Each structure stands twice: as C-alpha cells, then as structure tokens.
C-alpha cells in the first residue's frame, strides 16, 4: 500500500492574484486522469503581496504539497518562484507559458492585470442585459421601465429612437424610448425621470417627411397618409418640443447625423448631468 496515502492526503495549492478559478479548473481536469486518487485542492485567491505568498508556501512545505499558480503580476511570480525553489516545492505556472507564446506571436506586451477575464465576462453580460432591456422597453411598451433606465430617449415617430437605444445597449447602457404622439399624452413616468437622464431627438421636417414617405412605401401603403403629411409633421415636432421643454431635458437635432455621433452626444449629456448631481 502506498505510504503517502497513509501519512496524509496529497494537496495542490492553487495561488492567484485574482479569483483562482482558472487554476482550480486545470487542476481538477488533471486530477480526473488519476482514477481513484484523492487529492485536496487548496485555493488561495486574491494574493496581493510576497508575504501572503510566503505564508502559503510555508504551509504547503509542511505537507509537501504542489503549487499551481496563475499569477500575472511579475513581482508576485518572481517572489513565488524564488521561495518555492528555496523550499524545494514543485511549482507549475499555468498562465506564464501561454502569455509568453501570445506575446511572441503578436509582438504585444501583456497588461499583467489580475482579473481581466472576469471584467470581460461582466462587460459581456452587462451588454446582453442592456440589449434585453432596450427590446423590452422599446417604443414606450412598458412605462415602468423608464424609471429603471440609465437613459430615456424621446421624440416623434421615425426619429431614430430605437436604433439609438440599441446602439447604446451595445455599450452596456440601459436605454428606453418613448414616442411623442400629439393625440396621446406621454406617460407620467416620463416626467418623473431626472431631466439629465432624458434626451429629446429632433429632426428637420423635410427630412422626416421623406423618411416617413419611404416607410409607407416599404409597407405598401399610400404616401398620402397624414403620417407623411408635412404640415402634420411640423405640428408633431412643435408638440414634441413643448414636451421636451416641460421635461427640461437636452435635445439633439439628428438631421444628417450618424447613430454613433448622436450616441456620443447622448452620453456626454448623461455624464455631465451625473457629475452635476
């Protein structure tokens, strides 16, 4: 019988200057190759100093444990390797060789910043959540969403509210939009949103006239509809401006502006408003 199993359970210490999930997953995958082996995993995350590393290695030396690490800070890696060699500990660098290989094939320098993959994951899920929010609260479907939004876009029909909200969503911004229709009073929630979080969109009547005519044609409808009537459009825009003045929100004339340009202006208004609060 193997005396090693009689004396103690073998241990692998996973050291990380972030959460340590990567190292633990690799160790678990490796352990699965040893049928029936009971190997303890000791994860030591968020290491910030050489003193912390020394303490873990001293503990590992008492059990003759192996060290697996995913440290990206060069100073911590150097401290670990020096101490591990001095104590005669087996130590395996998981991230280092891969980072070195990528550096060689890209001629780029790594950022050596712990926890970046978690930040990337968080940014991805934030974007997905913002996209779902934009779809759910598009076109005033549910006014309750206005009070949950980072930004509320308002304006007349065909003023590019939805494309703007989707663009902002891909930046991780929860944007809702509300159409302003002369015959339908805006939802009360619109006036409860802080003015710096609301942006009104305006557009030249002549351009909106052309946009609406094309929209009707695309739908197979007659362009003579009041929806594409220039006089009606002017009235709608005047009504929308009156609502925006009542809210006290900034406005953007989107005539001949790309969505990216409008979005940049919206974010400027929003950040300025937040800073002034």
Average pLDDT for the chain: 90
Which tens digit of pLDDT belongs to each residue from 178-187?
999 999 999 9
Long-range contacts of 206-215 (CB under 8 A, 24+ apart): 206/230, 207/255, 207/256, 208/156, 208/158, 208/159, 208/233, 208/237, 209/233, 211/158, 212/157, 212/158, 215/158
Q: How far apart are CA 156 and CA 258, in angstroms?
A: 18
**Res 6: pLDDT:** 40
- The region of weakest confidence among 1-15, 87-101, 133-147, 257-271 is 1-15
Residues 6+ apart with CB under 8 A from 172: 123, 126, 127, 130
Q: Which domains does the chain show, CATH number per domain?
A: 3-114 (3.40.50.2300), 117-276 (3.40.50)
Q: How far apart are CA 261 and CA 4, in angstroms?
A: 67
- pTM exceeds 0.85, yes or no: no
* pLDDT at residue 55 tops 90: yes
**Res 5: pLDDT:** 39
For range 163-173, the mean pLDDT = 95
């Amino acid at each position: 019988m193997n005396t090693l199993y009689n004396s103690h359970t073998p241990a692998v210490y996973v050291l990380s200057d972030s959460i340590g999930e990567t190292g633990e997953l690799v160790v678990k995958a490796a352990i699965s190759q040893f049928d029936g082996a009971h190997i303890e995993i000791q994860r030591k995350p968020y290491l910030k100093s050489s003193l912390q590393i020394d303490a873990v290695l001293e503990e590992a030396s008492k059990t003759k444990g192996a060290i697996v690490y995913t440290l990206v800070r060069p100073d911590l890696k150097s401290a670990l390797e020096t101490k591990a060699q001095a104590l005669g500990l087996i130590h395996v660098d998981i991230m280092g060789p891969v980072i070195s290989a990528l550096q060689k094939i890209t001629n780029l320098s790594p950022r050596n910043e712990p926890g970046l993959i978690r930040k990337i994951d968080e940014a991805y899920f934030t974007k997905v959540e913002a996209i779902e929010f934009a779809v759910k609260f598009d076109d005033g479907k549910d006014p309750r969403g206005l009070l949950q939004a980072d930004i509320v876009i308002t304006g007349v029909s065909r003023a590019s509210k939805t494309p703007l909200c989707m663009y902002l969503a891909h930046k991780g911004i929860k944007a809702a939009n509300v159409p302003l229709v002369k015959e339908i009073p805006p939802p009360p929630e619109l006036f409860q949103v802080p003015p710096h979080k609301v942006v009104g969109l305006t557009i030249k009547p002549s351009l909106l006239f052309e946009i609406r005519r094309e929209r009707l044609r695309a739908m197979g409808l007659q362009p003579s509809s009041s929806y594409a009537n220039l006089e009606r459009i002017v009235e709608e825009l005047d009504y929308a401006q009156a609502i925006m003045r009542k809210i006290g929100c900034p406005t953007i004339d989107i005539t001949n502006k790309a969505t990216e340009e409008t979005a940049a202006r919206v974010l400027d208004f929003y950040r300025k408003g937040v800073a002034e609060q």
